[in-house]
Structures are given as C-alpha cells and as structure tokens.
C-alpha cells in the first residue's frame, strides 16, 4: 500500500507501475470529486455522487474511506481488491494516511510504503507547478501534507521519490514482482 503527502507523485509513480508492470493490479478508488482533464471514469477513479458514495458506505462496499484535504470523500471498493488477492494477483492501493491506518487495522499483514519528497521545498514547487489547484486549495493540501509527512515513521518502508521510474522499481521490488 502506497501513501504519502499530496503532490509527492503517488499518482505518477502508480501510473508508471500501471504501464511497466501490468502484472500488478492498481485498485480504482471511488471519489466524490470531479474528474481533472484527462482522467477517465473507471480507470483513474470511479467518479460518484455524494448519494452514491453514501450507498457504498451503507452496503459496506468500501474497505476504507476518508475525507481527504477536508473536502471530498475517497474510498477503496472492497470487492475488486478481494477478487484480485484471492486470484493471487498483487494489489497496490494508493491512498491517504487515514485510509492506510484503517487498512492496517483490517489487514495487519499488508505492507505500508510511504512515498516521501526529496525535500519540503520540492514538494511545494511540485504542488505549485502542477497548476491544477487554486491558492486556497493549495494551502489546504499543504497543511494536509505537513501532517502526513510527520507520519512517516508509522510505515514499514520509506521510498524517496527523487526519480519516478527508480521509485516505482523500488516499490515493485518490495511487492516482490519482477519485470518480465
Ligand atoms: P487527488 O484528488 O489528487 O487524486 O487525490 C487526493 C488524495 O486522495 C491523494 O492523497 C490520494 O492518495 C488520496 N486517495 C485516493 N484514493 C483514495 C482512497 O481510495 N482512499 C483514501 N483514503 N485516500 C485516497
């Protein structure tokens, strides 16, 4: 399971794994936020309404869920994760710290990996450089990131995202999958 502060590049590392290591299955989270340009429903996220998210919670369909950055809800659909694990397929969850803590309670044997930025300044410049968030949203995300960075020691492994492919390779090695 991969967690880490906002804008550290979890999405980029996951995307790289999706391309280069198709033998690893990436969980598709449900979210109540709207798609960013280029994001595809069912591939990057399941984009759902608040009412649909409520239903998923009521049916106990989510392995974990959290309000991220104090705004939208994000959660991991339980069914597909279990199906892949039962089939012996390695599963990667890319979730926030609150979600990681919930999964730790449910599955203490899961491996918890923290993706860290090379430095705080680098994290801020990545967030500004992405340009997808306005100043208010950016501040909100940075304050989440400050809290999340402090939680690094709760994790089994820390990977520094100095280079996307190198970080992805390190993660894949931890998962125990070799490239063909
Ligand atoms: P973004 O809106 O930038 O795609 O994602 C915002 C944050 O939500 C990221 O830190 C990401 O790790 C987290 N996130 C994405 N999917 C899930 C999920 O299923 N559960 C939880 N708890 N967090 C998630």
The CA distance from 171 to 141, in Å, is 24
Q: What is the pTM of this model?
A: 0.89
Sketch the domain layout of the chain as residue ranges. 2-175
Ligand 1 atom closest to 100 (CA): 22
| Residue 6 pLDDT exceeds 80 | no
Instruction: State the fold for domain 2-175.
Output: Rossmann fold (3.40.50)
Residue whose CA lies nearest to ligand 1 atom number 18: 75
The CA distance from 151 to 31, in Å, is 23
What is the per-residue pLDDT across 108-131, written as a single tens digit (0 to 9) for each? 889 999 999 999 898 888 877 777
| Residue 133 pLDDT exceeds 80 | no
Could you tell me what percent of the chain has a pLDDT over 70?
A: 98
Task: Say which residue, 4 or 65, is predicted with more confidence.
Answer: 65
Dihedral of the alpha carbons of 155, 104, 98, 27, in degrees to the nearest 10: 100
Distance 46 CA to ligand 1 centre (A): 12
């Amino acid at each position: 399971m991969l967690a880490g502060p906002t804008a550290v590049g979890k999405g980029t590392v996951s995307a790289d794994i999706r391309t280069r290591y198709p033998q690893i299955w990436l969980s598709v989270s449900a979210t109540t936020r709207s798609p960013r340009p280029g994001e595809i429903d069912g591939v990057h996220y399941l984009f759902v309404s608040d009412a649909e998210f409520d239903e998923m919670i009521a049916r106990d369909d989510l392995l974990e869920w959290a309000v991220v950055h104090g705004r939208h809800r994000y959660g991991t659909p339980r069914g597909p994760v279990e199906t892949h694990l039962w089939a012996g397929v390695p599963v990667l969850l890319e979730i926030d710290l609150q979600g990681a803590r919930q999964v730790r309670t449910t599955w203490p044997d899961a491996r918890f990996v923290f993706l860290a930025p090379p430095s705080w300044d680098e994290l801020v410049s990545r967030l500004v450089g992405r340009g997808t968030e306005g100043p208010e949203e950016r501040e909100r995300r940075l304050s989440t990131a400050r809290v999340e960075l402090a939680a690094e020691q709760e994790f089994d492994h820390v990977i520094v995202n100095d280079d996307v492919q190198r970080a992805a390779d390190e993660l894949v090695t931890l998962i125990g999958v070799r490239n063909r």
